Amino acid sequence: MSAVLTNYASGQWITPSDDFIQQYNAVTGDEIYQVNGSNWDFESMIDYGRKVGNTNLRKLTFFERGMLLKKLALHLNSIKKKYYPISYMTGATKSDSWIDIDGGIGTMFAYASLRKQFSSQPFHVEAEAAALSREGTFIGHHILVPKRGVAVHINAFNFPVWGMLEKCAPAWLAGMPCIVKAAEPTSFLTHAVVKDIIDSGILPKGALQLVCGSGIGILDHLDFQDVATFTGSASTGKKLKQLPNIIDNSVPFNMEADSLNASVLGLNAAPGTPEFDLFVKEVRKEMTVKCGQKCTAIRRILVPEQYVGAVKQALVSQLEQMVIGNPENETVRMGSLVSRDQLQEVTKSIETLAQETELLYDGNQHLDPVDGDKTKGAFIAPALLYNAGPFVNLSTHEVEAFGPVSTIIPYKTMDEAVELVHMGKGSLVSSIVTFDDNEARQFVYGAASHNGRILVLNRESAKESTGHGAVMPLLTHGGPGRAGGGEELGGVRGVKHYLQRCAIQGTPTTVTAVTQVYQQSAKPTESQIHPFRKYYEDLQVGDTVITHNHTVTEADITNFANVSGDNFYAHMDATSLEGTMFDRTVAHGYFVLSKAAGLFVDPAKGPVLLNYGLESCRFTKPVYPGMTIGVRFSVKEKLEQEKREDEVAKGIVKFLVDVYDETGETVAIATILTMVKKKNQG
């Protein structure tokens, strides 16, 4: 009897006792594991996640959670080679496994780095404050706080590692624990990674739980503080999205479904051009990577009708050279589907498509997998179809064969190509291969409404392009309509899916106290010691220095023009001011800012290491010769920084620079960033 996969629930590994589902090696057909089929106590898992995992994660700041992600990513990266032999049993080749394993770890690294874009608090202060009153005594701001529930991730079988980590990384950074429901056919690989995560002890207790078997009932106990995500078929996703508990409790539900993605060969990308060759290569790659089991794979190949013959010939030639077989054989370039059941599904879909469309190439007629048995493994060869009447034969736009299967579709004009893309009823991604930027613009503007992402590929971008099917952590992954209508990843956007936005209203002083971001007009804490003399730990939000004043002269303006080379007429030519908003020559805005720096800077050596940059700056009132300016210089926000080996321990301090005139009215407002040394160098 094969081994039974354990589930990780409520802080312990639990071995199921009955109602098993068998897992098979996709290459050999051998039974390798069994997983529990039903009867799981999801209510207890969710309760544990809320009470233990959520509590532990919410205590940490964004910076601390980001550092945990980085530490975990480094750990998994150091042991990732052990996952490759396990991945081969899913039918994935070495390059397929790299996308799944290294891609998942890379996504964790990417989200770990986003800690720098959030507040160094357990919550995040979003954007700028909103003025809600004439006198400025009443303002509003938005904060984002972690929801007080769990994130339940129902994943697909095609990416057992990346599919888990790309959802968990933003959730953990946001402060939410995760319950991973891995897909049964490949959950043995997810299990191997989760076991190493748990054994590492890097994550706080309750941050991660795992279900390897059936997830029936896993969404029945969620409420509005929880989040549910789903990746898989559109039909299954729709059923889950309509569950009574999801609707009744307004549970946020993010769905990313398989879609009929398209790639378009541009009208000017004739045979013989680099774009034509790139197009054929990209289609072949997207048909065969992961044996075509990618939610972003190219299912519809849109080709100008005059190039159809050339594309057919070139693509068939490349598909005929594809070496199919056991991924452990180094000559193999395409492995197998994940299971014999999936083989039956894909074969059935091909038969349905072939009822309306011509089967141009069917490699299964000569399939002889290297080091594999096609009667036992889930091997399948690429299939290429041709739909001569795409506006009549609609199955191409409705039926997805989730394998190495795609259909060539002719088109006449770019408008027609856009219309055909729309017929897929919403896609995760489309691409166009063209060297004509006007053509690219026409396609993007026409097709963007029906796609979550669009790749424009040409000879200049090809060297570094990640390709049609590659999902990048900093770009959104999702799409409208059939694709599910949801979004994942997208950098900071992906984290915000797990946060609750709340508007805060009050005086600037109160909002400052709540957010720990100093607001203009808040009551300052006048510091007897200049902030530049204080270490990072000693600085407090609101610490303020009121500088001495300076009266601006004509000589200031002339000298600054000479130094900077900025001789704009408003500063230098009083005879040219008629019809402008200025009644006489005006000081340069950058002079005002530069002079402000001269007023607020404490020149002696101290904990301030350097000026790190200027985050924002506005010149709000003209400054004329004879006007007197001063500066209110306040600690606005503090941001933690990682201490690297052989570096000085330091943090980033934002200062609000409020430049005012003799009437007390602000003439310039800016936020500068400084790097400040820490007292504690441990």
Continuous segment of H or E residues that includes residue 629: strand 628-640
Question: What's the rounded Cα separation, in Å, for the pair 9 and 227?
Answer: 18
295 part of the active site:
yes
Residue type, 673: L
Take residue 363 and report the two structure tokens written for it.
């490699």
Among 293, 273, 305, 629, which Cα is nearest to 457's? 273
Question: What's the rounded Cα separation, in Å, for the pair 337 and 403?
Answer: 7
Take residue 154 and report the two structure tokens written for it.
């129902």
Continuous segment of H or E residues that includes residue 321: none
Q: What is the dihedral sign for C-alpha 574, 577, 582, 586?
A: negative
Task: Single out the catalytic residue among 256, 275, 286, 488.
Answer: 256
Task: Single out the catalytic residue among 295, 400, 488, 640.
Answer: 295
Distances (CA, A) of 225 to 151, 494, 499: 9, 17, 10
Question: What's the rounded Cα separation, in Å, for the pair 546 and 239?
Answer: 62
The answer to whether the beta carbons of residues 422 and 447 sit under 8 Å apart is yes
| Three-state SS at 211 | strand
The answer to whether the beta carbons of residues 319 and 393 sit under 8 Å apart is no
SS (H, E, C) 477-513: EEECHHHCCEEEECCHHHHHCCEEEEEEEECHHHHHH
How buried is 542 (Cβ within 10 angstroms: 0-12 exposed, 13-18 middle, 19+ buried)?
A: buried
SS (H, E, C) 430-485: EEEECCCHHHHHHHHHHHHHHECCEEEECCCCCCCCCCCCCCCCCCEEEECHHHCC
Q: What is the dihedral sign for C-alpha 333, 339, 340, 345?
A: negative
Take residue 67 and report the two structure tokens written for it.
């550092």
Beta bridge partners of 301: 263, 408
Distances (CA, A) of 415 to 205, 391, 396, 421, 423: 55, 14, 19, 10, 13
Question: Angle, to 10 degrees, between the axis of helix 162-174 and the axis of helix 94-113?
Answer: 10
Find the radius of gyration of the CA atoms of the chain: 30
Continuous segment of H or E residues that includes residue 280: helix 274-288
The answer to whether the beta carbons of residues 669 and 648 sit under 8 Å apart is no
Distances (CA, A) of 519 to 20, 142, 217, 501: 59, 13, 47, 19
Question: What's the rounded Cα separation, in Å, for the pair 473 and 170?
Answer: 10
Continuous segment of H or E residues that includes residue 163: helix 162-174
Question: Angle, to 10 degrees, between the axis of helix 437-447 and the axis of helix 414-422?
Answer: 30
Beta bridge partners of 17: none
The answer to whether the beta carbons of residues 539 and 674 sit under 8 Å apart is no
Question: What's the rounded Cα separation, in Å, for the pair 168 and 150?
Answer: 11
DSSP state of 370: B
Continuous segment of H or E residues that includes residue 88: helix 83-88
256 part of the active site:
yes
Question: What positions carry a catalytic annotation?
Answer: 256, 295
